[in-house]
Structure 1
Amino acid sequence: MSGLLEVIALSPADAEHAEAGGADRVEVCGSLEDGGMSPPPALVAQIRAKTSIQVRVMVRLREGFGTDGGEAVRLRGLIASYLDAGADGMVLGFLNGLGEVDLQVCGELVGDTEWPWTFHRALDSVLDVDRAWQALAKLPGIDQVLTAGSPRGVEQGLDELLVRARKNPWAAKVIMAGGGLQPDHVPWLARAGIRAFHIGSPARTGGSYKAYVDEGLVGAWRHLVDAEVRRAPHSATS
């Protein structure tokens, strides 16, 4: 049994190196401002031309996790462009003015589509996490939730991730742990039933986004994730 490893890609070279290192998927961002912003469709096409692994694209145009009707129209247009450019799925997530998952906006963006998508770390900024998880389960097409368990990162949110995965089988299935993820977190997460992991700076030399993704570092994470998932009790995901 193997886990899922996703790597942030900012360029075609990043995607090539991620695939060579054994990543299953890349998350494409145009910039890492405020946790990641949408790339131009041309970049998605360039990355698609350089890799055969799954490509998901960040759908986000402003800081924070709110949006409005006018921007939603632009976001739908971007999604269509990304699909035309060869993206396999999207990464998005919006909250309303009450600090809750914005089911209306998210529902409008994903519609009745058949492409899979990830709800990103907006989850870590909600006011009521239990209620947010109930809301996420209502959204069509969602198959991954990128979360650190805390807005401060996995180090601070590890206990929340472990408890959530153990108490909620659906959460364990869709959680993709990321946001300050470190190698020593992986065994704990795997034992709790989490099988998907997301890395950004740890895939780069010196942990710097000024460097390209490093094939060797991705390979080391690939080995770690698979070893810990195989070692974890099978019952954790049953």
Structure 2
Amino acid sequence: MPGLLEIICLHDADARRAEEGGADRVELLGSLDDGGMSPEPALVEKVRAATGLEVRPMVRLRAGFGTDGGEFVRLQGLVNAYRDAGADGVVFGFLNGYDEVDAEVCAALAATADCPWTFHRAIDQVLDADKAWRLVPRLPRVDQVLTAGSARGVEFGLDYLVARCRADAQVAALVMAGGGLHAEHVPWLARAGVRAFHIGRAARPLGQYKAYVDAPLVRTWRELIDDEVGRAA
């Protein structure tokens, strides 16, 4: 199967440049605060009009990976608004007070979305990773798990991520590697069975979010991923 390349985008200009560079999907953020917050539905609509790429907005309204009953109603409303605005999927991931995957909340939000979704990097914050990886694949409609293998980023989680993917083909099929991903990580991950990759700063000149996504940089990642996934296959 070909590799998948997802780019963090903040507006329609980013999305257009991501598409020009050969990306497959946009993770749309409203802000970069605390690892990424929800965009306004109007921004989703604007990005949808600007690109033919798959668009998945973040569903997250506060720092951390917990939520509560009152906020959950707002999250459901956001998901419905995103779908009405043309989003192809969504991105979220919630933990309970014991730093375990909050399966009840995630399943309920997935039912609201009624579309494919990405479990966000909350999985890198759980206390029991084995338990989390048994639970997440059973959540309805989840088709990707964004993970660095460590809360500190891919640089620190690479060995763990490679080992887990080599040990379980189902995990490898779900993993989208991201969170400080560097080019030198890609061959190791591809050989472990990973086929999806996620970048943010690496798609921008000098790694600065003040700069727009750069199509030639995206193209270099596109070529790298295609080359390494092709070799691994």
TM-score, normalised via structure 2 length: 0.99
Does 2:104 match 1:108?
no
Does 2:200 match 1:203?
no
Measure, in 2, the Cα distance between the counterparts of 1:188 and 1:112: 36
Counterpart of 1:148 in structure 2 is: 148
Map 1:153-232 to 2 at 5 A. Answer: 153-232=153-232
Q: Name structure 1 gaps, 5 residues minimum.
A: none
Counterpart of 2:53 in structure 1 is: 53
TM-score, normalised via structure 1 length: 0.96
Q: Determine helix, strand or coil for the equivalent of 2:138.
A: coil
Does 2:135 match 1:129?
no
- Tell me the number of residue pairs that the alignment of Structure 1 and Structure 2 aligns: 233
Task: Provide Cα deviations, 1:105-157, integer angstroms capped at 9, x if missing partner.
Answer: 11111117541000000000000000001110220000000000000000000
Map 1:53-92 to 2 at 5 A. Answer: 53-92=53-92
Inter-CA distance 5–59: structure 2 relative to 1 (3 Å threshold):
same
Give the residue type in structure 2 aligned to 1:7.
I
Q: Determine helix, strand or coil for the equivalent of 2:159.
A: helix
Task: Provide Cα deviations, 1:184-230, integer angstroms capped at 9, x if missing partner.
Answer: 00000000000000000000011000000000000000000000000
Q: Do the aligned residues in 2 keep the contact of 1:113 with 1:141 (CA within 8 Å)? A: no
Measure, in 1, the Cα distance between the counterparts of 2:164 and 2:33: 29
Counterpart of 1:138 in structure 2 is: 138
Q: Do the aligned residues in 2 keep the contact of 1:20 with 1:215 (CA within 8 Å)? A: yes
Q: In angstroms, what is the RMSD of aligned CA positions?
A: 0.8
Q: Name structure 2 gaps, 5 residues minimum.
A: none
Give the residue type in structure 2 aligned to 1:87.
A
Task: Provide Cα deviations, 1:82-125, integer angstroms capped at 9, x if missing partner.
Answer: 00000000000000000100001111111175410000000000
Measure, in 2, the Cα distance between the counterparts of 1:85 and 1:133: 32
Measure, in 1, the Cα distance between the counterparts of 2:98 and 2:161: 23
Give the residue type in structure 1 aligned to 2:19.
E
